[in-house]
Amino acid sequence: MHEPMKPWMAVVGLLFVGCATIDDLSVESYRASGLSGATLSTQTISLFPMFGKGGNRTYLGPADQIFVDVLKRHRPDRTIMPPEETLRLIRERGLEATYQSVAKSYSAARVPEETPLKELGQALGTRYLLLTELEGVEVVEGATQVRLRSRLWDAEQGDILWEGIGEGRGYVVFIFPWTPSSIEKTVAVASRGLSRRLP
């Protein structure tokens, strides 16, 4: 028979193991009038490979995979074309240069041109395109901070229908000091926050 754990043993355990705390700071920043989940439930949404600038590019591969996995798991009510399938169809239809022009110039701080997105949407046979940028991965005051921004485009109309920010801020609590949470776990929280806010 095991002896019950003494209080001091729990404190020592916390000191060495710690407790992960990751806050979900995600928000929906825009939704077009009349857009509802019913609008999207019968349509395929094509996911583009995640974009990123500068040092953020280092984390794009794992962040993109985590985002897609989380989106599929938490939004089984949506039909998603994964990034690798999106990219394969774009290449098959000879629009690699068009895609690269969008990828190189894409930034959440500016609005992409309508024409390339319309061409890509037609090539994919899907009306709705989800473009996501990894805006930031950094450690601030002992916490890992990850910020994603997604825009849902209506490729036929050339309009942004929805925009959301997925943000996670996390650390592992020790008695002293706090240490940043893993990038992977923080990306997962930011991705979950973003996917839950997608109409």
Considering the domain boundaries, does residue 6 fall inside one? no
pLDDT value, residue 112: 73
The answer to whether residues 45 and 126 touch, using CB atoms and an 8 Å cutoff, is yes
Rounded CA separation 180/106 (Å): 29
pLDDT value, residue 11: 42
Considering the domain boundaries, does residue 2 fall inside one? no
The answer to whether residues 195 and 72 touch, using CB atoms and an 8 Å cutoff, is no
Average pLDDT of the segment spanning 9-34: 73
Instruction: Provide φ and ψ at 31, rounded to 5°.
Output: -145, 125
Residue 108 CB coordination number (10 Å): 18
pLDDT value, residue 174: 56
Model confidence pLDDT, tens digit, residues 55-95? 999 999 999 999 999 999 999 999 999 999 999 999 999 99
Considering the domain boundaries, does residue 1 fall inside one? no
Model confidence pLDDT, tens digit, residues 121-162? 999 999 999 999 999 999 988 899 999 999 999 999 989 999
Q: How many domains does the chain contain in total?
A: 1
**Residue 193 belongs to a domain with what CATH number?**
3.40.50.10610
pLDDT value, residue 30: 96
Considering the domain boundaries, does residue 59 fall inside one? yes
Percent of the chain with pLDDT over 70: 87
pLDDT value, residue 4: 53
Max Cα–Cα distance, the chain, nearest Å? 72
Comparison of pLDDT for 14 and 67, the residue scoring more: 67
Considering the domain boundaries, does residue 4 fall inside one? no
Considering the domain boundaries, does residue 45 fall inside one? yes
Considering the domain boundaries, does residue 9 fall inside one? no
Full domain range(s) for residue 52 = 20-197
pLDDT value, residue 7: 47
177 band by pLDDT with thresholds 50, 70 and 90: low
13 band by pLDDT with thresholds 50, 70 and 90: very low
Asked if the model's pLDDT at residue 18 lies above 80, the reply is no
- For the residues of 137-182, what is the DSSP string, one character each? EEEETTEEEEEEEEEEEETTTTEEEEEEEEEEEEEEE-SS--EEPP
Considering the domain boundaries, does residue 96 fall inside one? yes
